[in-house]
Amino acid sequence: REVLRAGETEATVRGARLMWCNGRTGARGFYERHGYEAVGEEFVIEGVGPHYVFARRLG
């Protein structure tokens, strides 16, 4: 959680308006609790497992 917030803070300082990441499907609740939304459909990263793209507007 703290690493996520530190990244958001740095991105905001640099002028970013959107933060996004690939996150495991099993972590969906974590990202949603921190203001992220799943974008698009679930996809699989071979050898790693199912993921979503998660995004959150900054500022």
∠ CA 26-22-55 to the nearest 5 degrees? 100
Q: What is the mean pLDDT of the chain?
A: 96
Class of domain 2-57: alpha beta
In this prediction, residue 59 carries a pLDDT of 83
In this prediction, residue 33 carries a pLDDT of 96
E strands, the chain, in order? 18-24, 37-45, 49-57
pTM of this structure: 0.89
Residue ranges, the chain, pLDDT below 70? none
∠ CA 44-10-56 to the nearest 5 degrees? 45
In this prediction, residue 42 carries a pLDDT of 98
